[in-house]
Structure 1
Amino acid sequence: MASVGRWLPWVALVLAAAVALVPGDRLAQWLPESLSKPGRDQVLHAAGFFFLTVCFRGWQGPVAAPSRWIPGALVILILFALIHEGIQILIPGRTISSADLFADGIGIIVGVAFCLLLSQSKKSKSY
């Protein structure tokens, strides 16, 4: 199971990168109409980066201290968010959006907070 935790963040990043490379008109065909309303894109960005952050929690193993996984995860996820958003200028029907980048950051912050709370909860139950 530990090996899954080591590979999962990288697989998730590859899948997220693949989605970023899909042309806008094709992406609109794949998503339900309810998700293509204004503001929903940011919800998807925040949820996606929350998921990526939680995936990175398992990167250093199940008992890793926050100081072991958070700095590396933050660097990787922030760089990925910038590249993920920046590359969209090259994709037909896609644009760079500061709102999407902000939502990515919110997802990362909430993901880190969630992992820290979960870690604290597990520690308090073990006493």
Structure 2
Amino acid sequence: MNHIKNYKFTVLSIILILIAVLMPADDVPSVSIPHIDKLVHAGMFGFLTLCFYGEYFFEKRKIPSILLPWILIEIFAIITELLQYLVEGRSCDIKDFLADTIGSIIVIVIIRYFYGKKVKG
């Protein structure tokens, strides 16, 4: 239970992502900006990554290794895409998964860059 308390924003991000990706297609707001959904995917998974890394840092006073958290976030991204097969009007899209991955990687790179600056300076 203490882990959930220490990672409350990460858990909240996971819940919000699940709500967003499992919403029936008719309930998803329509925007006429091409590929905006890819930006939304990148933003959601970037925010999830930021929450996890931030909460991990505040708990342990260091950032985690890159590989394990990233793999777990990628597994979650795959699961969210596969779950969309169960939702009316939604589909599994490799481009959405790639957007999830890119959002996560961008945040990891930024965090590692600034953390490296902090450690050196």
In the superposition, the TM-score normalised over structure 1's length comes to 0.80
Q: Tell me whether 1:114 sits opposite 2:118 in the alignment.
A: no
Task: Give the superposition deviation at 1:4.
Answer: 6.8
Q: Count residues in correspondence.
A: 116
The CA deviation string for residues 81-127 of structure 1, in whole angstroms up to 9 with x for no partner, is 001111111111111111101111111111110111121232244xx
Corresponding residue to 2:38 among 34, 42, 53 = 42
Instruction: Tell me the residue number matched to 2:12.
Output: 11
Higher helix share: 1
CA distance in 2 between counterparts of 1:24 and 1:99 reads 17
Q: How does 1:9-88 map to 2 (within 5 A)?
A: 9-28=10-29, 33=31, 36-62=32-58, 63-67=61-65, 70-88=66-84
- RMSD of aligned Cα (Å): 1.9
Aligned equivalents of 2:9, 2:102: Cα separation in 1: 21
User: What is the percent sequence identity of the aligned residues?
Assistant: 29
TM-score by length of 2: 0.84
Q: Give ranges in structure 2 of 5+ residues lacking alignment.
A: none
